[in-house]
Structure 1
């Protein structure tokens, strides 16, 4: 080899060696290191929506299980889940602590439309990923104005429209009563429902009633709605009030076609307390596998879930659909972190969350794929109508497009 060729080879080798560290360089923001990924969350472990607290327990247990098997890309998950009592002011206080004191890399699955509304602007001003919110409010899918916020649940307005479309197709002359929570969560569902009914909305909805999360019961509202003569009922409630409403509807002898929003469709935390016999005929929607449905008995993902619950959370009810929901969120969060590799900046976390390509979450219904893009932050596009038969939810019809 000539001296000139040798110099060229050595120069090329030098460039390659110089580039190697850059290619392998790890990038971190607060909350990430060679050994740790710090994730934050608020969850209502107390207060009027405490039935949802089981979600955070499942997510914590899943991350613990991952840590025991080496973590994600060699890093352990440090999951900090705080109780906000379903109180927006408390959620603000807790999230500020997570971001400013604990310095989490991002937050995940903070629950409730009111609580997330209270921290929405703050998270975007701080440029901290506000991921997979446990609420289906339509405003979470707004990458242009709020590029750091992404929901998880299917859109409430779209779900409301689908119930309306089903009523128009099956009971075009229905007299409808509506009960809804008097906040952004309830109003989002109601708007979608009214939009779905279109020009017939004012004529078909003969009575509506609201409740506050601080109310002890919704018994009086149910009596008022029954007296309207409605033969169809859209029940827009969180678990405690959903169980009360289902029970009261049966106790007063009202027999409407009863639609229940999917966020309160858990057999374990809603239908059992209400009474399974009183829940027969309820119509709702699903996108996550129902652990009480025997058709999943031989499904590997469900078997893995049941084994996981038995080992890590033996005191929780494995038939509670909130638990499979929590596992689905944790599974998608883990997928985003795997996609991040060694680039654990907040910007890359958000980029990867907006680059989920037809991912089949093990706990999601087959064919209900998570898919996001920089222009569309809504992970789920389809849902399945289901009817409760006294033991489990039974699917009917074809999956319906959520968008």
Structure 2
């Protein structure tokens, strides 16, 4: 089936909210995309192309906003969620961002996905003074409020995560010979920088091989073969889901069993591990900040119960084991929280002000002890992770929650 170039998910708004007094109207402030009855939110996702596994994030967010609308909306206003496909292509992302801002006239562009795509639209969004809010990428550069005051991240930065892996290896395997398999773009290079920074003076001696791949490649087998030949006993996979699954399968096929670390963005049980084969993923390490819906320890957790109930009612076809579904749910909850904080001042400036004023906010699916905090000088909402190891058919958390300050 051909992927549709544009996917439009718009919440159906029924009825109107009438305000009878002039004084009530006078207290309200609106920019494009907001009114007495509606809040228009734009989004860009790779529903097609090499990163299409992430498309479920946009679908989950649409379902969550439908839930909010069914419950009366935000301060009486319904969310109109408009999400387009960019195929993980930066030029297409620019085209879609312009359409959302200039044609659809959205209030914010929320959770657009991918480091390359967000890099391509960042200057445009800031020049137009339209929030590029809670971007779905952990690049460190989204925490630059002075240079780009209209762009903010959401998840832990890639460099922070990679420094945690470096810290683990320095402690547990100080003589490791590391082979790094990475996506050859800003996403992969950001992780790689964090890893090297974390290893410090030992980076040059511990990292014995680096192999980059392009997202346009149909297979990455030759890269894995080349890495194995260099002799590493640690394999670090800095990849998007499709390629992470391919790498897990290839290592098993070759009977190559180094200590295997996968980046958080590709640690989904449903989206990566299961397709790659549970038997091929035993002992793989990663780090996480969110609860795993496959883990029985959360069965009686209030947040998990809300998540499962939401899926049953509003996204019955969604796979609760897919980490991207969990991600979309958490990001959407954060967006709703910010809009609630805005009250009747739905200007773009106030949206950014409230987004930079989150204090100990805990979406349902964050691990206990991990909360969202921002300020006018800190645009990195989540800064904590916990190591995890894959065993059986699920991830097992171990060690303490690690907080990692962002690098400049």
TM-score band (shorter)?
A: over 0.9
What's the CA shift for 1:363? 1.4
**C-alpha deviation, 1:23, in angstroms:** 9.9
Are 2:153 and 1:151 aligned? yes
The answer (yes or no) to whether the contact 2:160–2:383 under 8 Å persists in 1 is no
Q: 5+ unaligned residues in a row in structure 1: which ranges?
A: 1-19
Tell me the residue number matched to 1:271.
Answer: 273
2:95 to 93, 96, 102: 93
Residue of structure 1 in register with 2:245 after alignment? 243
Structure-2 residue corresponding to 1:117: 119
Which residue in 1 is equivalent to 2:9?
none
How far 1:21 moved relative to its partner?
3.2
Q: What do residues 89-139 of structure 1 show as CA deviations (whole Å, max 9, x unaligned)? A: 110000100000000000111000000000000000000000000000011
Match of 1:73 in 2: 75
Report how far residue 319 of structure 1 moved: 1.2
Q: Is the 8 A contact 2:306 2:364 kept in 1?
A: no
RMSD: 1.1
Change (3 A) 1:366 1:23: farther
Residue 258 of structure 2: aligned partner: 256
- Mapping for residues 54-73 of structure 1, pairs under 5 Å: 54-73=56-75
Aligned residues: 384
Runs of 4+ in 1 over 6 A off after TM superposition: none
Q: TM-score, normalised by structure 2?
A: 0.93
SS of residue in 1 equivalent to 2:366: coil
User: TM-score, normalization: structure 1?
Assistant: 0.94
Which residue does 1:221 correspond to in 2? 223
Aligned to 1:337, which of 336, 339, 357?
339
Residues 155 and 402 in structure 1, CA contact (< 8 A), matched pair in contact too: no
Q: Distance in 2 between matches of 1:24 and 1:267?
A: 50
1:1-40 equivalences in 2 (<5 Å): 21=23, 25-40=27-42
How far apart in 2 are the matches of 1:71 and 1:290?
28
**SS of 1:284's equivalent?**
strand
- Counterpart of 1:135 (choices 134, 137, 140) is 137
1:48 maps to: 50
Residue 30 of structure 1 contacts residue 105 of structure 1 at CA under 8 Å; is this kept in 2?
Answer: yes
Q: Which structure has the larger Rg?
A: 1
- Preserved contact between residue 71 and residue 77 of structure 1 (Cα < 8 Å): yes
Q: CA deviation at 1:308?
A: 1.5
Give 1:316 shift: 2.1
